[in-house]
Chains A and B, each alone.
Chain A
């Protein structure tokens, strides 16, 4: 049940016949998102293999919510997720390190707004 999101690729129709062959033999992978309480966000909690959306939802329920972890479940096919490339991490995220002025910490707030 390892995440198999291909970094930096845009999902399209499976071009190579090999990918199609594997699809027939191996169930596709799904990413599972669970909402623990009404009002909270769905959080990613893992992945699983399933043949179709209904089976993915049922198995997600059995695998990830059997100890009362959830009130709602989403599943998304892993190959439908586009992820940033870990190799580009430096150029994507490091430039933000020295830009503290982007945090709104330099404003003096009136007392009545103390708990912002």
Chain B
């Protein structure tokens, strides 16, 4: 059996900016989807997979836009499926935090909270993007992110301020995830270019609002904001943790083994 050859994507900063958004949504959706059939109660099972589907919808729209932009810039056009299923690990531009294993329920809801606040702030800014299509995607996505935030915040407060067991697990989840937060707000040339041509904000512009909002939920949950650490992850630059390869192996298997296979 011959597997489908991989693709590489334009290194143009606008394309890279879109891939960071699309890939972050896609990989987080993949991790949330793992709860299907495993959530503590059936209602929560439906809630988590609903949110995974919201994120996949956002990823599809943004990746489609990224592929179209590649073509517009004179490169080869790629569709959403090629971008999702035929890129190798190093070509993925998601933040490292979303590829970490789903962990226990505390890790899942705490990561959901961190990412929902971040994505809501980002979509809000992208509603004013110079790219009309991205602005339209953002207008729809911001409502979804707002709900994801409500859902996750409810759980973080409930668990953090709950029993001794749930509180201890939430603290452990915070300690595990916190070192990966800094990457969200670490700027580079891609952010500079997006800011210059009005495509979207520098992600560091969202830092203060994110910390204020995340900190407020932690306070309500009786949790302390951990200290800043020197460690920096670099998934946005394509340097990932050891976990992403396994996510992609599962996600891409079918397209690799049966090239062009469709429903």
Contact = CB atoms under 8 A, between A and B. Distances in A.
Interface string B88-101: 00000000000000
A50 interface: yes
A41 to B, nearest CB: 24
B41 A49 contact: yes
Contacts of A63: 43, 46-47
B46 A58 contact: no
B75 interface: no
A84 to B, nearest CB: 28
A49 B42 CA distance: 9
A59 B158 contact: no
Q: Give the interface SS of chain B, mostly helix, strand, loop or mixed.
A: helix
A36 B140 CA distance: 21
Contacts of B47: 58-59, 62-63
A34 interface: no
B50 A49 contact: no
Contact of A48 (B43, B147, B154): B43
Interface in A44-85: 48-52, 54-55, 58-59, 61-63, 66
Given A49-B41, A50-B43, A63-B43, A58 B158 contact: no
B104 interface: no
Given A59-B44, A63-B43, A51 B158 contact: yes
B150 interface: yes
B151 interface: yes
B43 A59 contact: yes
Interface in B25-45: 41-44
A49 B46 contact: no
A62 B50 contact: yes
A62 B43 contact: yes
B154 A55 contact: yes
A48 B45 CA distance: 13
Contacts of B50: 62, 66
B154 A66 contact: no
A115 B222 CA distance: 63
Nearest to A54: B154
Given A62-B50, A66-B50, A49 B154 contact: no
B158 A66 contact: no
Nearest to A51: B158
A66 B53 CA distance: 11
A66 B46 contact: yes
Residue in A48, A61, A62, A63 with the greatest tally of chain B CB atoms within 10 Å: A62
Contact of A58 (B41, B42, B151): B151
Contacts of B44: 59
Contacts of A48: 43
Contacts of A50: 43
Interface string B55-78: 000000000000000000000000
B258 to A, nearest CB: 31
Interface of A: 1, 27, 48-52, 54-55, 58-59, 61-63, 66
Which A-B residue pairs are the 6 nearest by beta carbons? Answer: A62-B47, A59-B43, A48-B43, A62-B46, A62-B50, A63-B43
Given A1-B42, A63-B43, 10 more contacts: A27-B41, A49-B43, A52-B158, A54-B154, A55-B158, A58-B47, A59-B43, A61-B147, A62-B43, A62-B47
7 contacts: A48-B43, A49-B43, A50-B43, A54-B154, A58-B150, A62-B43, A66-B46
Interface of B: 41-44, 46-47, 50, 147, 150-151, 154, 158
